[in-house]
């Protein structure tokens, strides 16, 4: 997730900031728009699907930990899904953004992402599939899979079944819960409205979607590194120690010394010198 977030920061966010400042895309060319759209769609969806699978995978690591220790199950339920998440989305968007079949990309350089790929507006079947399968389904899984972990833990505790040593997984649960909260707050509104637009009409909450929901998703990219790093072991202690070292350094660097001078041989003027 951090790698995908970094790629998005260097490939998508700078051009978005340029558009926010000048109200026009960085380069008014066909190639720039098609590449920018591909980077944006890919990075956003890959992050979403990775969080989606991690939400499901936590259930396996917590409730079927012995099974996940075997090499075969680890490859089947960890590495293969990760490879699919990282490869499916770039291929899908490369196919339908660079080589659309049912329409022709017409770019608007005064709109963010040059107006978007044409299939999302003119191909009802593909556009609906994109919103519902690539965005909607992962978002719904994230929303429901993470609370379900706590429900299953409480259910096993109440029924006194075999004990689950979930304390070892607590850090991962907390980390994933905060990440899921980011997507719930900043991604879910866009996905829900976009899905409704493909099903019931483009005019549904169009102004809200265009003016707000398309932009708040950037909070995910900006906050994700802090959420991941902040939930790592002993990070809080290290941050506190770092702040203490910084304060100590500044305190030693900035010292106050009285400087006494004599004016006309009688009047003393005390000057505070700061070093």
Average pLDDT for the chain: 80
Q: How many residues does the chain have?
A: 275
Burial class (CB in 10 A: 0-12, 13-18, 19+), 41: buried
Joined together, the tokens standing for residue 29 give 């060319």
CA distance 99 to 173: 41
Q: Please say whether the structural domain 2-233 has been given the CATH code 1.20.1070.10.
A: yes
Provide φ and ψ at 260, rounded to 5°: -105, 125
**Residue ranges of domains in the chain:** 2-233, 245-275
| Token representation of residue 58 | 């936590």
Cβ neighbours of 140 (radius 10 Å): 15
Question: Who wins on pLDDT, 30 or 181?
Answer: 30
pLDDT in tens, 201-233: 667 777 787 778 888 888 888 888 777 776 666
HEC sequence for 106-159: CCCCCCHHHHCCCHHHHCHHHHHHHHHHHHHHHHHHHHHHHHHHHHHHHHHHHH
Q: What is the pLDDT of residue 6?
A: 84
Residue 9: strand, helix, or coil: helix
144-182: b or e for each residue (b if 16 or more CB lie within 10 Å)? ebbebbeeebeeeeeeeeeeeebeebeebbebbbbbbeb
pLDDT of 235 = 66
Question: pLDDT-derived band of residue 274, with 50, 70 and 90 as boundaries?
Answer: very low
pLDDT digits (tens, 9 = 90+) for 121-148: 888 889 889 988 998 899 889 888 878 8
**pLDDT reported for residue 68:** 78
At 202 the pLDDT is 66
Residue 80 pLDDT more than 70?
A: yes
What is the b/e burial string over 232-248, where b = at least 16 CB atoms within 10 angstroms of the residue's CB?
eeeeeeeeeeeeeeeee
């Amino acid at each position: 997730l951090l790698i995908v977030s970094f790629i998005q920061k260097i490939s998508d966010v700078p051009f978005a900031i340029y558009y926010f400042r000048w109200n026009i895309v960085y380069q008014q060319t066909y190639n720039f728009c098609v590449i920018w759209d591909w980077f944006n769609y890919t990075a956003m969806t890959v992050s979403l699907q990775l969080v989606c699978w991690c939400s499901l995978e936590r259930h396996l690591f917590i409730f079927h930990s012995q099974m996940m220790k075997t090499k075969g199950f680890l490859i089947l339920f960890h590495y293969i899904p990760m490879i699919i998440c990282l490869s499916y989305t770039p291929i899908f968007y490369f196919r339908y953004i660079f080589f659309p079949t049912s329409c022709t990309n017409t770019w608007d350089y005064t709109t963010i992402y040059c107006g978007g790929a044409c299939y999302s507006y003119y191909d009802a079947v593909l556009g609906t599939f994109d919103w519902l399968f690539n965005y909607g389904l992962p978002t719904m899984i994230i929303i429901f899979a993470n609370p379900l972990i706590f429900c299953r833990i409480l259910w096993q505790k109440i029924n006194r079944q075999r004990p689950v040593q979930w304390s070892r997984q607590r850090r991962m649960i907390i980390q994933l819960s905060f990440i899921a909260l980011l997507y719930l707050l900043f991604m879910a509104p866009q996905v829900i409205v976009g899905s409704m637009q493909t099903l019931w009409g483009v005019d549904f909450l169009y102004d809200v979607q265009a003016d707000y929901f398309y932009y708040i998703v950037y909070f995910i990219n900006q906050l994700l590194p802090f959420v991941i790093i902040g939930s790592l072991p002993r990070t809080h202690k290290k941050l506190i120690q770092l702040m203490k070292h910084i304060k100590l350094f500044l305190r030693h660097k900035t010292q106050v010394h009285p400087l006494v001078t004599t004016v006309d041989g009688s009047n003393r003027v005390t000057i505070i010198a700061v070093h």
